[in-house]
Amino acid sequence: METSKRLHTPASRQTFAVAPRVWGLKTLFANLYFVANPNGSWVLVDTGVKGYAHQIRSAADELFGENSVPQAIVLTHGHFDHIGTVRELAEHWQVPVYAHPMEFPYLTGQSSYPPPDPSVGGGAMAYLSFIYPKKPIDIHQLLVLLPEEGIVPALEGWHWVFTPGHSPGHVSFFREEDRVLLAGDAFTTRDAESAIAVMTEKREVHGPPNYYTPDWGNAHRSVETLLNLNPKIAATGHGMPMKGEELTRQLENLVKNFWLKAVPKHGRYVHEPAITDEQGVVSLPPEVSNTVPKVLAVAGAVAVAGLFWMAIKKRNNSKQKNGQGHYGSYPKNRPYSHNRVMTGLPPTIDPDFDDPDAHTNNYP
Ligand SMILES: [Zn+2]
Ligand SMILES: [Zn+2]
């Protein structure tokens, strides 16, 4: 049957397999996920960074057939690296966008998120946080509330779980049948604070990205909630999927040592969270001085930009060698890298692995 054949479509060159009927796509440094029902209908979870709409549609074509349209877009949260193409895709496909009510103010132009905290120090992404957009987008015409009681629209067997902390209305998605978790940024599977880890995709459980987390108490409780679901496979907003005992052990460790391992030593939200409600930000703890000297911050930003530039260059070169340079230049159509393995590094997801039904053999 045509539909079932499509459900066994190998993960394309563009996507990585997560579990049966779940595929991921990396946009520059943030992941989004394609999740299908047994009957072939599907939903997009998150939408990546700006400039990737074309690639997302082409990956969907490869997975589900030419001009395939999802039933809906659902958002884990509204940070810019998860909603970069949401308007373009939702308007193109004419589908609703679902989010948690506590996330609405930041998706309807009503409130800005609590400001990111560059004072958390040390992290590559913290150095760059000043360039991130601070103004909320307004997609109120497209936006619909997630149904109550954890029902995920148009997806059978999935539930959403409220996991605030990294953002006020952050949710994760869980498929009980095989315990697959899409955790958004509630926790991540690579060190978002390290530019090297961002490049190499070393899989390791980490807390939510420091620079954008305004409520560490809730973030801690949320990771505990997710651990209690006993996930067998976890795919997150940043990093490659993890599974099995390694996942459980590292997630347990994160919950147990959250304040040591995940929470920054100092920073605006470490002792006091941002207070938010359904209208947006209510109050913020006072700003703390940025402990990263300006000159270091600039040097850090330049170094990170340089690493990304080198990765893009390397990728373009190897593409030209392979006669695959037809995607045009970065960043419009093609990211520098998604599910590629760099040689000489610890084992990670096999880029040639393409059978989503055999996913359990894929991760060391
Ligand atoms: Zn985020
Ligand atoms: Zn993110």
Which tens digit of pLDDT belongs to each residue from 110-122?
999 998 888 886 5
Residue 302, pLDDT score? 56
Residue 214, pLDDT score? 97
In whole angstroms, what separates CA 313 from the centre of its chain?
24
Q: 364 alpha carbon to ligand 2 midpoint, in Å?
A: 25
Domain that holds residue 12: 2-361
Q: 79 alpha carbon to ligand 1 midpoint, in Å?
A: 5
Residue 146, pLDDT score? 98
- Give the number of domains in the chain: 1
The rounded distance, in Å, linking the Cα atoms of 158 and 332 is: 33
Q: 169 alpha carbon to ligand 2 midpoint, in Å?
A: 14
pLDDT digits (tens, 9 = 90+) for 53-62: 999 999 999 9
Q: 317 alpha carbon to ligand 1 midpoint, in Å?
A: 32
Instruction: State how far the alpha carbon of 224 is from the alpha carbons of 175, 183, 214, in Å.
Output: 17, 12, 18
Q: 103 alpha carbon to ligand 2 midpoint, in Å?
A: 14
Q: Among 182-196, 210-224, 283-297, which stretch is predicted with the lowest mean pLDDT? A: 283-297
- Asked if 146 and 43 count as a contact pair (C-beta separation under 8 A), the reply is no
pTM: 0.79
| Ion ligand 1: protein residues whose beta carbon lies under 5 Å | 79, 185
Residue 2, pLDDT score? 44
What CATH number is attached to the domain comprising 332?
3.60.15.10
The rounded distance, in Å, linking the Cα atoms of 316 and 226 is: 39
Q: 185 alpha carbon to ligand 1 midpoint, in Å?
A: 5
Give the burial class of 230: count Cβ atoms within 10 A of its Cβ; 0-12 exposed, 13-18 middle, 19 or more buried. exposed
Closest CA to 234 of 165, 174, 192, 152: 174
Amino acid, res. 170: H
Q: 237 alpha carbon to ligand 2 midpoint, in Å?
A: 5
Closest CA to 208 of 104, 308, 146, 123: 123
Q: 35 alpha carbon to ligand 1 midpoint, in Å?
A: 20
Q: What percent of the chain has pLDDT over 90?
A: 64
User: Is the model's pLDDT at 277 over the cut of 80?
Assistant: yes
pLDDT digits (tens, 9 = 90+) for 19-44: 999 999 999 999 999 999 999 999 99
Q: 196 alpha carbon to ligand 1 midpoint, in Å?
A: 19
Ligand lying nearest the CA atom of residue 106: 1
Ligand lying nearest the CA atom of residue 31: 2
Residue 121, pLDDT score? 62
DSSP string covering 51-105: T-HHHHHHHHHHHH-TT---SEEE-S---HHHHTTHHHHHHHHT--EEE-GGGGG
User: Is the model's pLDDT at 293 over the cut of 60?
Assistant: no
Ligand lying nearest the CA atom of residue 210: 1
Ligand lying nearest the CA atom of residue 82: 2
Averaged pLDDT for residues 77-93: 97
Q: 131 alpha carbon to ligand 1 midpoint, in Å?
A: 15
Q: 84 alpha carbon to ligand 2 midpoint, in Å?
A: 11
Instruction: State how far the alpha carbon of 176 is from the alpha carbons of 41, 42, 77, 173, 183, in Å.
Output: 19, 17, 21, 10, 14
Q: 19 alpha carbon to ligand 1 midpoint, in Å?
A: 23
Residue 40, pLDDT score? 96
